[in-house]
Chain A
């Protein structure tokens, strides 16, 4: 294994909830660039896996090596600062803040001044605020939300909230972004706009782990797909390999995507 090539190496990851094993002996590898999809029927362990990677849930067994460092057992905020960001299936914005303020919160960990310094050191405080503000403006432009920057995020339509989450995740220039069902709840035009943004992020060299139910999105966007079923990996490969994989079809896809010939 050429260690320097791989961004995230998961080995034998296991998570149990009482009698139920949500993730069983999962091993998977993410390269440094591109889009890797994680799919599977409901309850197959996809979101649990994301929660394990981000540190929100403690793993029972296995290892998670990010950028050649073991991150299993580390606190979530440290994992985030190390370069892994995520979006949420049911949006988790800071609803009382404006869209731009949400972004600036996303970049909070880029600053270093403590509370006392913020109160008394006029210069440092202003410099940090300016830095966060400019960065937020950049990201707003990237995701196309400059027009709604000063609107309260909680009152914005679903599509805008979804894109905001993407922007928040970009603030710290992460190496890996975990997108948890980004297409859910979007209408077709919102979806294709979102996909464009995801592709743009990929082009910037950020690795994306995509959890998604919408097969069009998955098949068109990803280079590699890992398939889970009841907590275990049942297949892994390119979109065409997965579409032709009998196990996958049996567990999940249905005949629609089986290529003929």
Chain B
């Protein structure tokens, strides 16, 4: 009983701590350059939270995240710049784009067992980039879309590096965290993991595998598209040139590095990889090479990324606390 209360408290404390941190963070940001990086971290976290469902929990590699990101960005950007619609509508439209991609791409790729999703998402991202570059009358081609409008709340414009925009992004992140948390700690989370661990057994237990897989993929797609739309408003300018397979790989590495399957891991990974160019600035041109090397080594030796570091320290702390407390008591 006591153990349960402590665990319950710890989840709440964790959330409160995180929230407090999010709220106070802008105080430490001194330049708009850093503010934009912080905003990028939030947007990337949203992508990785989504990717976590299909690649982390269900274990099917999604190599076309850049394609979803791009389509979300373009959907919103086109609606707001060409049709003059509010960015809020653009955001909602990107949700629907995400659902569309989820079903249209997910259904053929995930209906049968096997590694087809890797292949189709790879081609999908390439085709998206090619189409966006070449359908010039609609998309403006390689020149991209400029002057993407900022969000407005109650008549107040939220500038790209403004604290207001940051809080809006943080609020959206919190929303997605809540959604992820609800799903992971529900029958869906268990079903995702079950399909990954043993699809045959899951099927003979009465679970419709394809629905689970397509559902996870659609979540990734929706999260990715929304993040893309937010990205468009953050940068004010998008072009097909940036949505490369390198970007897709980067998102996967964010997931892997942080530790797959968990919300904290997803955010940690997004933070680290987004900050990487800044942190490894001294390495000049070779930082990405260095990072890929680290990823390769950790894939072989420490697959669970930063999260396993976290659990390691947490377990050590627990042991220390129980020693102090004498009798076995709760955990951190």
- Is B190 a contact of A80 with CB atoms below 8 Å? no
Interface SS of B by simple majority: helix
At the interface with chain A, which of B191-199, B295-303, B311-319? B191-199
Residues of A with C-beta under 8 A to B196: 96
- Is A129 a contact of B187 with CB atoms below 8 Å? yes
Task: Give 1 or 0 for each of A88-110: 1 = CB within 8 Å of chain B CB.
Answer: 10001111110001001110110
A-B contact count (CB 8 A): 90
Nearest opposing residue in chain B for A114, CB measure: B215
Task: Give 1 or 0 for each of A106-133: 1 = CB within 8 Å of chain B CB.
Answer: 1011010001001100000100110010
Residues of B with C-beta under 8 A to A132: 187
Given contacts A92-B198, A94-B198, A115-B215, contact A80 B183 (CB under 8 A): no
Given contacts A80-B206, A105-B205, A105-B207, contact A94 B183 (CB under 8 A): no
A85 to B205 CA separation, bound complex (whole angstroms): 7
Of B182, B190, B201, B203, which one neighbours A101 at CB under 8 angstroms?
Answer: B190
- Is B190 a contact of A105 with CB atoms below 8 Å? yes
Task: Give 1 or 0 for each of A39-68: 1 = CB within 8 Å of chain B CB.
Answer: 000000000000000101000000000000
Interface check B209, CB cutoff 8 A: yes
Residues of B with C-beta under 8 A to A158: none
Q: Which 3 A-B pairs have the closest CB atoms?
A: A109-B206, A92-B201, A80-B206
Residues on B lying within 8 angstroms of A by beta carbon are 179, 182-183, 186-188, 190-191, 193-194, 196-198, 200-209, 215, 219
Residues on A lying within 8 angstroms of B by beta carbon are 54, 56, 75-77, 79-81, 85-86, 88, 92-97, 101, 104-106, 108-109, 111, 115, 118-119, 125, 128-129, 132, 168-169, 171-172
A-B contact pairs, 26 of them (CB 8 A): A56-B203, A76-B203, A77-B207, A80-B204, A85-B205, A93-B197, A93-B198, A94-B193, A95-B198, A97-B190, A97-B193, A97-B194, A104-B187, A105-B187, A105-B190, A105-B191, A105-B194, A105-B207, A108-B187, A109-B207, A119-B179, A119-B183, A129-B187, A168-B205, A169-B205, A171-B205
